[in-house]
Amino acid sequence: MRCRSMHRRGYRAAALMVLSASLLAAAGCHRAHDAARDIRVETTLQPEPVRVGNATITLRIADGQANPVRGAQVQIEGDMAHPGMAPVFHDAQPLGPGSYAGTMKFDMPGDWVLLEHIRLTDGRRIERQVAVNGVAAQ
């Protein structure tokens, strides 16, 4: 009897844990809302194609009317496409009206993804993702 009761309790605990995990995951897995869809970001890399080593990344940020967006804070994050690798972070500095540039070190060959974290002067935050495929060894 005792064994059967423990068995039942075990299954109840299992069901509860599984249910909680599912709810937690489902609730937590909503996609990030883009706060500034009208903002356009154009990214260029130099050299092209990118090789292992330093590359200059330039962002041109414009609003819906193609006016340059000034005063934004831009941070560029470089991630390998494979999980478990160290990301690299660099701040981009303003170059001119709506133009921001930074130097990033691609320290491994392979596929990279750039995450551009942009904070506008009105407090809105934007995140753009740019694939940099096939960074070649030097």
Partner 1 sequence: MIRGQGSVAEPEEEFDEGFGEAAPFDLLRVPLAGRFLRWRHARTMLAIPMLAVSLVMIAQGLLGPTLSPKNLATVLTWVHFRGALVLALLCAGNLFCLACPFMLVRNAMRKFIRPRFTWPRRLRNKWIPVVLFALVLFCYELFSLWSSPWLTAWVIVGYFVAVLVVDGLFKHATFCKYVCPIGQFNFIAATASPLEVAVRDQDICTGCGTKDCIRGSRAPSPGLVILQCGCELALFQPAKVGNMDCTFCLDCVHACPHDNVGILSRLPAAELLTDPQRSGVGFFSRRKDIAALTIVFCFGALMNAFGMVSPVYTVEAWLGRVLHITQEAPILGLLFAVFLIVEPALLLGGAAWIARTWAGLRGNWLSLVVRYSYSIAPLGFGMWLAHYGYHFFTGLYTIVPVTQNALMDLGWPILGTPRWTMVGLPKTIVEPLEFGFLMLGLAGSLMIAWRLAEDDSENHTVRAFTPWAVVCGILFAASVWLMLQPMDMRATMMAG
Binding site for partner 1 (CB under 8 A): 3, 6-7, 10-11, 13-14, 17-18, 20-22, 24-32, 77, 79-87, 89, 108-111, 113, 115, 129, 133-134, 136-137
Choose between 63 and 107: whose C-beta lies nearer to partner 1: 107
Q: What is residue 136's DSSP assignment?
A: B
End-to-end CA distance of the chain: 70
Give CA–CA dist 112/45, Å, rounded: 13
Q: How far is the CB of 62 from partner 1 (least distance, A)?
A: 25
Q: How far is the CB of 106 from partner 1 (least distance, A)?
A: 12
Closest CA to 131 of 15, 51, 43: 43
